[in-house]
Chain A
Amino acid sequence: MESMLEIQNLDKNYGTVEVLKNINVSAKTGDFLVLVGPSGCGKSTLLNCIAGLESISGGSIHIGGLDMTHVNPKDRNIAMVFQSYALYPTMSVANNITFGMKVRGVAKAERLSKLQSVAKQLQIEKLLDRKPSQLSGGQRQRVAIGRALVRDPKMFLFDEPLSNLDAKLRVEMRLEIKKLHHDLGATMVYVTHDQIEAMTLATNIVVLKDGLVQQIGSPDAVYRRPANLFVADFMGSPAMNLIPVKAISEGSVTRVQIKPAEGAPIELIDNFNGDLPEEVILGIRPEDIAEARLRAGEDTQRMKCRIDMVEPAGADTYVVSWLGGKQVTARLQSETKAKSGESLDLAFDFSKVSYFSKTTGERLN
């Protein structure tokens, strides 16, 4: 597959403030690239740079093989959907959708036929004469997407398109965007602070923090093998448990000593990872801790833990324990008999754990 987006060594400064530092990101045709990170990480700025709405201080941007670093937004062959929808308030839905074509001097007959086909695709045919103020949030979002669709661009840019919608609608629209991507086969770049959106939509995730790329990878890679403590903590809900432990490696086997809330450290054997420094942080997803009576095998290690809290969440029940001076959450089946204040045998799945350096926070295994 050919490369659709190629960002090389991109820097962006506002005066002396470095907002983006040496960004290298690429996407192939048909990719769904999600830029994710906490607010202020520079993800929206990066998207604006790709769109040409912000100039860049260094590096280059290629779209569809062409150098677009200094090209006007209108000539980049992109379409963009904004968080606030940015519908033109005094224009009808139809005029909102066709404004771009009108500006570019597309003939009226063609404008109308494109409008009709997009309206049909998004099921907004009945809304074409309305003003944006007469639409609901979901309808506005559809119109904004329609405005992008009529352009038939090489690449779609989405700037947190769902964050103004209520929870239920957000899930619906998320599915629709995924379907749209599937149907069109177009390249999409999508900015969000919601890691669930990132996981569900992306073919590739770029995790950003303070203007630096933390990790680029498939949703599975970012989730299973986070590159550092920040990514481990940011992706996933509830977050990955990060427990300071003492590791004693002997070849390819490690003895891991975890301090419980009371009493002497408990030693677990990790048969999968070796060559670790002594002071490490053990990362384990809540779903990789199970009730020992239901889960056994070579890859798991048992440990008796005192349960501090039980949170039933419908499909799962979260139990919170205290290990290594940190709260540790386990995601158990809802039928669990766990009670707060009592002890429970938990099984830790060491085939799926991550280790991070205590000093640099980088991944070690």
Chain B
Amino acid sequence: MTNPTAFIAPRTGKLIMRWLLFAILVAFALFYLIPLFVMITTSLKSLDEIRAGNLVALPVSVTFDAWRTAWASACSGIQCEGLRPYFWNSVLLTVPAVAISTLLGAVNGYVIAQWKFRGANLIFSLMLFGCFIPFQVVLLPMARTLGILGLAGTIPGLVFVHVIYGIGFTTLFFRNYYVTIPVELVKAAKVDGAGFFRIYWSIFLPLSLPILMVTVIWQFTQIWNDFLFGVSFSQAGTQPVTVALNNIVNSTTGVKEYNVNMAAAIIAAFPTLFVYAVAGKYFIRGLTAGSVKG
């Protein structure tokens, strides 16, 4: 005799487990979102309300004053221009640094993976080693180098630093991607008469979108969010947004303007969130590329 409930019981059990799993995942997601929630609500409150109210309560009256202040008139040290000039510094610094380091990494990876030469693996290992050198170690030598090059305290100087530091990672990404492409492709193109750059431009670059996205997101996040190089190698007027944010938050003249600080933090973090939202699907695709190749 078979008991009909014997069939139903494991199924219900499975269903309960499934829901439990979802519940736990949702709980974790909410937990991770709490800081963002606090930041956003706080940035929309007036100072009076913050002082009076509950940290996690929704704003009674929504005001964008704090955002306006953070963007255009918050004080960092003696200047009260908000984040705006520093935000543009960051843009001017990040865009060329990302572009140059990605480009160099792409060509490096192409050479190391597809144009094997004597010592290619050694050079690759050394570049890889560069990925593991902590930022702090290079501060002093880099300061000297920038001084000799006449780039100390300038945005091109910061671009230079980030390009140098990024090449290890970008080369690694591209090399690992190109190494999965059969070498016969280059051979066929050579027989067809194409040269080094023609082969790259016509055959490899069109294949590279996923890894290009991974590299751009990675580099953009690293360079935009960098604080240490920014604070070490910049001077008044060339500081990136992360340094300005720090200055705004730490300049205490009178009351702490939590709403302004929160708004400034969100503004400073916005570009990386934006890049990930736009190109995120390529990021996942790029990371898993190769593993599912037919």
Task: Please report A residues at the B interface, Cβ cutoff 8 Å.
Answer: 48, 51, 53, 72-74, 78-80, 82-84, 86-91, 99-100, 103-104, 133, 147
Contacts and interface: CB of A to CB of B under 8 A. Distances in A.
Interface stretch (B192-200, B227-235, B283-291): B192-200
5 contacts: A83-B184, A88-B188, A88-B189, A100-B191, A104-B193
Contacts of B190: 53, 72-74
Given A90-B206, A90-B207, A103-B198, A82 B184 contact: yes
B289 to A, nearest CB: 13
B187 interface: yes
A86 B207 contact: no
Given A79-B191, A84-B182, A90-B206, 19 more contacts: A48-B187, A53-B191, A73-B187, A73-B190, A74-B192, A80-B188, A86-B185, A86-B187, A87-B188, A88-B185, A88-B202, A90-B203, A91-B202, A99-B189, A99-B192, A100-B192, A103-B194, A147-B188, A147-B192
Contacts of B182: 84, 86
Contact of B192 (A83, A84, A90, A103): A103
Contacts of B191: 51, 53, 73-74, 78-80, 100
Contacts of A83: 184
Contacts of A53: 187, 190-191
A291 B6 CA distance: 69
Interface of B: 182, 184-185, 187-194, 198, 202-203, 206-207, 294
B188 A86 contact: yes
Among B187, B191, B194, B206: residue with most chain A CB under 10 A = B191
Nearest to A80: B191
Contacts of A90: 203, 206-207
A84 B184 contact: yes
A89 to B, nearest CB: 6
Nearest to B192: A100
Nearest to A82: B184
A231 to B, nearest CB: 29
Nearest to A75: B193
A274 to B, nearest CB: 52
Contacts of B207: 89-90
Given A90-B203, A90-B206, A103-B198, A82 B187 contact: yes
A88 B184 CA distance: 10
A78 B191 CA distance: 8
A87 B185 CA distance: 7
A51 B184 CA distance: 13
Contacts of A99: 189, 192, 194, 202
B183 to A, nearest CB: 9
B190 to A, nearest CB: 5
A90 B184 CA distance: 15
Nearest to B203: A88
Given A88-B202, A90-B207, A100 B185 contact: no
Contacts of B193: 74, 100, 103-104
A134 B206 CA distance: 17
Contacts of A74: 190-194
A259 B187 CA distance: 54
Nearest to A51: B191
A73 B206 CA distance: 24
B9 to A, nearest CB: 47
Among B182, B188, B198: residue with most chain A CB under 10 A = B188
A73 B196 CA distance: 13
Contacts of A78: 191
Contact of B187 (A72, A80, A88, A104): A80
A80 B194 CA distance: 14
A301 B202 CA distance: 67
B179 to A, nearest CB: 15
B233 to A, nearest CB: 40
Nearest to B185: A86
Among A53, A78, A91, A147: residue with most chain B CB under 10 A = A53
Nearest to A54: B187
